[in-house]
Structure 1
Amino acid sequence: MLILTLILGIAYPNFCLAQYYINRPSHNFPEFKFPSENKELPIVFEWKNIQYGFPSEQERQQVLRNGRYNPDSPIPIDIDVYYPPNGGPARHFVTTPRFGQGVPYSLAYVTNVQRENGSEIQAYPSYQWHSSHGANCDGLTSVYRVHIDACGRMWILDSGEIEFVQHCAPQVVVFDLATDQLVHRYRLPESSYKAKVSRFVNIFADIRDPPPKGKCNDVFAYLADPTSKAIVVYDVVGQNSWRIENKFTYPDAKFGTHTVAGESFELLDGPLALAVTPLGLGMRRHLIFHALSNELELAIPLDILNNATKWQGGLSASLSEFVSLGRRGVQCASHAISRRGILFCGFLDPIAIFGWDIRTPYNRQNVQLLALNPDTLQFVSGMKIVQRPADGREELWLLSDRLQKIFAGTIDYREINYRVLRCDVDDLLQGRGCF
């Protein structure tokens, strides 16, 4: 553990979220005890390459011939899981953005059909939503990540790009998972993104009136735009959006080289990971975020973030409101926060999952190793906290994709390259096995 501590090199911050408590209540749940031994995370799905399903064999052969399907082109990026509130099997959703032309659809669910290289996926909500390949902007063009909220809705962030060419305006599309029907759409105005520069890759929808007492109407969605180094705030009720771009949303050139399992690639990306302080902790709520190409963990109060008038000053707007929580000394891709305020993050080196209680300073004493596996956890690009309705317990879901091998051109499709893993949050934190 001492060696890992030295590797991490997490510096003591000047601030922590604890400074922003408002009438902090006493704990009504036991303190977590982090494990002294590393835990393996069970694998739920794994693929050598992604196995697509099609409406018919004729359609499959047609897209193979015209180049719209190249079995070695798709790269899975994200995972989210929906448990029907009244029971029934879980639904597992994955995204495969259209980095190239050979991706037939970019949002899918995992089926029970087993193919040679892994479980077959099928297009969501239907094949027709994706089949125009950017010609019909009422469909879905390229989905990087999604967020399933507590109200049973999937928030989809569609970048509108194929092979980095903008075919449609970026949009937020929302489906009711109980009916698989479209319930909301918002196309970003030109003022909220930079044409030919922006690439929207992550979304977090903060439901401020959640069930069982709320009506799920009061929502702010936060969108990560790492290539133009910005975060976009979308006020759903007000049907308005605004960009936040400043020195805190920029990458750090010293962290532009990303090394995973001995292979490196160059990427200078801004904001990627987004999560908010859970309701009910008695704290001033923040958006906690970081750039992929940076070691800093940062936060901004939601009451400031959600006020459009605070951001009219351009690069200098509300700079004093940003909180520098601390430094990791290494990059982390995705992160997620449990309802009790534990932030999980997948470090690139060591290749591991770490946890931090946001009520404590962000330093090496409080950022604790939870799971370490140099094979199965290579570049965790998707991470979600999912609550099971049957017992209310939370699960941590991960998608790892060996992104470094894709950049380096060393990926071998005879090997397992993509994995979905899960663990019960309390079991992971208490040091019990994941089942």
Structure 2
Amino acid sequence: MGVEKVGDRLFITVPRRRYGIPSTLNYVDLTTDSNTRSPALRPYPSLREGSSLVSVYRTRADECGRLWMVDTGRLEIPDNHQQVQPPAIVVFDLNTDRELFRYQFKSSDIPAENTPTGLASITIDTKSGCDTAHAYVPDLTTYGIIVYSLRDNDSWRISHSYFHFNPIAGNLNIAGQSFQWSDGIFSLTIKKTEDRCDTAYFHPLISTHEFAVSTCLLNNRTASSDSDYWTRYSIVGERGPNSQSTMHAHDAETNVMFYAEVGRDAFSCWNTAKPLTPSNVEILAKDAIRLSYPSDLHITDGEVWLMANSLPRFGYARLDTNEYNFFIYRANIRDAIYGTTCSGR
């Protein structure tokens, strides 16, 4: 489900949505496995030490040598969901491969029994320093953001109508399956600035719009009580028909936002110096089979990494084990956008 390159390791997550998954957090050693077409996944940090994790959807490393994730604590076996342990933020030290800490969410962060199923991504903000970092956890199921303060070792939940899904965008046709989803806020990425506050861009999965808010507002636990709180969010623009997206990421070097589009089986871009309109969004790659349900997208070292996993076929039909069902791609960012509307040329 999730993919992230950190140094010579490629972290790959496998949420426990079926029986028979020995490890939810894994990696591939790029120094030894990069030439293997379908390398075996290695449990992280080991099979024994990783057994404390129940189900992880995506990871994010920060500039401080730490690997962050949300362990939903939930087995999502069809017709047999089980909350094995409370959902929590878990952080590993990438230098020692030891767990640094686990922060269990408060009851006020988790408004419903099914909320943990929607804690599928995490974004880390280290602008104020490694010891004062914040983590942002979108809740796509019950429509909120959980903000965690490392300095205070505390969390709070915020709400806004922009976190909800758009029913007009709810019809999907992916991997030969037609269905309706109602996933709300799914991805949040940070566009860094020279000011004290950065800009957090976010969108629901079931929407074709992009929204934005200051990270200073997210980091202020009392901001939601201000009379003008609701007006401090903005609509950035719209990407175009069928452009529903899972994850997205902003590249500071090129000022380009990249999207993993499930609605069009595509990988697309938008130069954030331009208005967000359909004409300013360019599809860089599109394939109904090999880019079916692109589930994660991450930028590191001038490259964008993308995973596609045919999730709807897995959920509504059966995977053909004689075919490749999971694909991981990487692209040099400048090469990918060269000559497109995203390059600024």
State TM-score, norm by structure 1: 0.71
CA shift in 2, pair 1:229/1:431, >3 Å:
same
Q: Which amino acid aligns with 1:353?
A: F
Task: Supply the distance in 2 between the matched residues of 1:165 and 1:91 (Cα, whole angstroms).
Answer: 31
Structure holding more strand per residue: 2
The Cα of 1:195 is off from its aligned counterpart by 4.0
| Aligned match of 1:79 | 3
1:257 equivalent in alignment to 2:175 = no
CA shift in 2, pair 1:250/1:113, >3 Å:
same
Task: Supply the distance in 2 between the matched residues of 1:279 and 1:81 (Cα, whole angstroms).
Answer: 24
CA shift in 2, pair 1:153/1:378, >3 Å:
same
| Aligned match of 2:62 | 149
CA shift in 2, pair 1:410/1:257, >3 Å:
farther
The Cα of 1:360 is off from its aligned counterpart by 2.0
| Aligned match of 1:191 | 108
| Aligned match of 2:157 | 243
The Cα of 1:117 is off from its aligned counterpart by 8.9
1:120 is paired with a residue whose SS is coil
Task: Supply the distance in 2 between the matched residues of 1:409 and 1:105 (Cα, whole angstroms).
Answer: 23
Give the alignment partner of residue 140 of structure 1, picking from 46, 49, 53: 53
2:307 is paired with a residue whose SS is strand
Tell me which stretches of 4 or more aligned residues in structure 1 moved more than 6 Å: none
1:272 equivalent in alignment to 2:186 = yes
1:191 is paired with a residue whose SS is helix
1:118 is paired with a residue whose SS is coil
The Cα of 1:262 is off from its aligned counterpart by 4.1
Task: Supply the distance in 2 between the matched residues of 1:91 and 1:234 (Cα, whole angstroms).
Answer: 26
Stretch deviating more after TM superposition (122-131 or 145-154): 122-131
Deviation track 1:298-318 (CA, whole Å, cap 9, x = no partner) reads: 1111111111111247xx871
1:303 equivalent in alignment to 2:216 = yes
Deviation track 1:212-260 (CA, whole Å, cap 9, x = no partner) reads: xxx5222111001111111111111122211122311111222222222
2:280 is paired with a residue whose SS is coil
Q: Which amino acid aligns with 1:424?
A: N
Give the alignment partner of residue 40 of structure 2, picking from 100, 111, 120: 120
1:181 equivalent in alignment to 2:98 = yes
RCO higher in structure (CA 8 A, sep ≥6): 1
CA shift in 2, pair 1:427/1:310, >3 Å:
same
CA shift in 2, pair 1:107/1:317, >3 Å:
farther
Counterparts of residues 382-421 of structure 1 (less than 5 Å): 382-387=296-301, 394-421=302-329
Give the alignment partner of residue 332 of structure 2, picking from 395, 416, 424: 424
| Aligned match of 2:343 | none
In terms of Rg, which structure is larger? 1
CA shift in 2, pair 1:226/1:208, >3 Å:
same
Give the alignment partner of residue 322 of structure 1, picking from 233, 236, 240: 233
| Aligned match of 2:75 | 162
Aligned residues: 328
1:308 is paired with a residue whose SS is coil
CA shift in 2, pair 1:195/1:351, >3 Å:
closer
The Cα of 1:279 is off from its aligned counterpart by 4.0
| Aligned match of 1:286 | 199
Identity %: 30
1:104 equivalent in alignment to 2:28 = no
Q: Which amino acid aligns with 2:64?
A: C
Task: Supply the distance in 2 between the matched residues of 1:349 and 1:229 (Cα, whole angstroms).
Answer: 21
Deviation track 1:42-84 (CA, whole Å, cap 9, x = no partner) reads: xxxxxxxxxxxxxxxxxxxxxxxxxxxxxxxxxxx0001111x
The Cα of 1:107 is off from its aligned counterpart by 0.3
| Aligned match of 1:92 | 10
Q: Is the 8 A contact 1:265 1:407 kept in 2?
A: no
1:336 is paired with a residue whose SS is strand
Task: Supply the distance in 2 between the matched residues of 1:184 and 1:317 (Cα, whole angstroms).
Answer: 36
Task: Supply the distance in 1 between the matched residues of 2:215 and 2:147 (Cα, whole angstroms).
Answer: 10
Task: Supply the distance in 1 between the matched residues of 2:211 and 2:315 (Cα, whole angstroms).
Answer: 28
Structure 2 unaligned blocks of 5 or more: 341-345
CA shift in 2, pair 1:349/1:144, >3 Å:
closer
Task: Supply the distance in 1 between the matched residues of 2:14 and 2:331 (Cα, whole angstroms).
Answer: 23
Q: Is the 8 A contact 2:262 2:293 kept in 1?
A: yes
| Aligned match of 1:33 | none
The Cα of 1:113 is off from its aligned counterpart by 6.5
State TM-score, norm by structure 2: 0.88
Task: Supply the distance in 1 between the matched residues of 2:74 and 2:315 (Cα, whole angstroms).
Answer: 19
How large is the Cα RMSD of the aligned pairs? 2.3
1:335 equivalent in alignment to 2:248 = yes
